[in-house]
Amino acid sequence: MTRDYEGLRRKLDALSDRVAQLEAAHGGARPPGAKESAPYEAQPPKPDDGHRPPPDEAQPPTLDAETFWALHGVQQRLAGDPSTRGGAVMIVGSLTLPNGGPVAWHQIAGSDGLLTSDWSDQALSFSALGHPVRLELLRHILAGVHATADLAEVTALGTTGQLHHHLRQLLAAGWVRQSGRGSYEVPAARVVPLLACLTGSWR
């Protein structure tokens, strides 16, 4: 009876681990229109002998190829370049902006370089996004409102002086650029990274 109890306890522990993984994979709200990502494929139950391998022996989870098709594409290319043999992070997107303009972009960086670089160098870029008015300003510019005079008519963006202050912050960080006198745009190479930052912020 004691032996049966121990086996049940181990199975319950394994089940609790799976529930925690599923909750972590699906926890929190998702942005409107976002598809639910499948959790890791079901793993075989842990053996009843109570042995659990140390972390360095643990195998990486198997990911569903249909759901994680983009990830599988990246993984297949990792070994082909010395800069990505340790892993890589990729930003990719293809979309049509509200004003009808098409945007397609991808950017890849080796994880070794990312993890060893000085992240403080990117503080200005993140800081520029850390204000609700500036995020709203970027949304309006992407929607096709480019002229300062037209942006000044958007109540949520504050006074003309505040608007120019926020534009300067975004200009300095490279999130916007001047496309003419009194006109601003988000550079094509920044549209997808900007939307990727927004997507990554959803929890």
The pLDDT averaged over each successive group of 10 residues in the chain (203 residues) is: 56 59 48 45 45 50 80 82 86 92 91 91 94 97 96 95 96 95 94 94 85
Helices (H), the chain: 2-26, 69-77, 111-116, 123-129, 132-142, 148-152, 160-173, 188-201
| pTM score | 0.68
Rounded Cα–Cα distance for residues 106 and 104 (Å): 7
- Confidence at residue 156, expressed as pLDDT on a 0 to 100 scale: 94
Is 28 within 8 Å of 202 (Cβ atoms)? yes
Residue 203: other Cβ atoms inside 10 A: 7
Four-CA torsion 140, 179, 100, 134, nearest 10 degrees: -20
Say what the pLDDT of residue 203 is: 76
Say how many C-beta atoms besides its own lie within 10 A of residue 76's C-beta: 9
3-state SS assignment for residue 4:
helix
